[in-house]
Amino acid sequence: MAMKEFVISEAQVETAVLVGLITKTQDERKTNEYLDELAFLAETAGAEVVKRFTQKLDQANSVTYVGKGKLDEIKQYIHDEEEAEREVGMVIFDDELSAKQIRNIEGELKVKILDRTSLILDIFAMRAQTANAKTQVELAQYKYMLPRLQRLWTHLERQGGGSGAGGGKGSVGLRGPGETQLEMDRRIILNRMSLLKERLVEIDKQKATQRKNRGRLIRVALVGYTNVGKSTLMNLLAKSEVFAENKLFATLDTTVRKVIIDNLPFLLSDTVGFIRKLPTDLVDSFKSTLDEVREADLLLHVVDISHPDFEEQIEVVNKTLADIGAAGKPMMLVFNKIDAYTYVQKDEDDLTPRTKENWTLEELMRTWMAKMEDNCLFISARERINLEEMKNAVYKRVKELHVQKYPYNDFLYQNYDENGEV
Ligand SMILES: Nc1nc2c(ncn2[C@@H]2O[C@H](COP(=O)(O)OP(=O)(O)OP(=O)(O)O)[C@@H](O)[C@H]2O)c(=O)[nH]1
Ligand SMILES: [Mg+2]
Q: Mind listing the pLDDT tens digit for each residue in 239-269?
A: 766 666 666 666 677 788 888 888 888 999 9
> CA 204: distance to chain centroid?
21
Cα dihedral 277, 279, 282, 286 sign:
positive
Each domain of the chain, given as residue ranges in start order, spans 11-124, 129-201, 215-413
Would the CATH topology of 11-124 be identical to that of 215-413? yes
The model's pLDDT over 50-99, given as tens digits with 9 standing for 90+, comes to: 999 999 999 999 999 999 999 999 999 999 999 998 899 999 999 999 98
Pocket test for ligand 1, best of 127, 129, 227, 314 (most atoms within 8 A of CB): 227
User: Which range (67-71, 116-120, 126-130, 139-143) has the least confidence?
Assistant: 126-130
Assign domain 11-124 one CATH number from 3.40.50.11060, 3.30.420.40, 3.20.20.140, 3.40.50.150.
3.40.50.11060
Give the CATH number of domain 215-413; options: 3.40.50.300, 3.40.109.10, 3.10.28.10, 3.40.50.1780: 3.40.50.300
Look at ligand 1, atom 21, and give the residue with the nearest C-alpha: 227
Binding-site residues, ligand 1, Cβ < 6 A: 224, 226-232, 244-246, 248-251, 273, 336-337, 339-340, 380-383
- Ligand 2 center to 345 CA (angstroms): 33
Which of 53-67, 120-134, 135-149 shows the highest mean pLDDT? 53-67
Q: Of the ranges 122-126, 218-222, 235-239, 353-357, which one carries the lowest mean pLDDT score?
A: 353-357
Contact assessment for residue 48 and residue 71, using Cβ atoms and an 8 Å cutoff: no
Q: What's the confidence (pLDDT) of residue 144?
A: 87
**Torsion angle of the four alpha carbons 80, 83, 86, 87, in this order, in degrees rounded to the nearest 10:** 80
* Nearest one of 340, 271, 320 to 300, comparing CA atoms: 271
Q: Which helix (H) or strand (E) holds 259?
A: strand 255-261
User: Ligand 1 atom closest to Cα of 234?
Assistant: 15
Residue 107's pLDDT band (cuts 50, 70, 90): very high
Cα of 360 to ligand 2 centre, how many Å? 28
* Residue located nearest, by CA, to atom 7 of ligand 1: 229
Structural contact between residues 145 and 6, judged by C-beta atoms closer than 8 angstroms = yes
Q: What ligand 1 atom has the least distance to the C-alpha of 252?
A: 23
pLDDT 10s digits, 25-60: 999 999 999 999 999 999 998 899 999 999 999 999
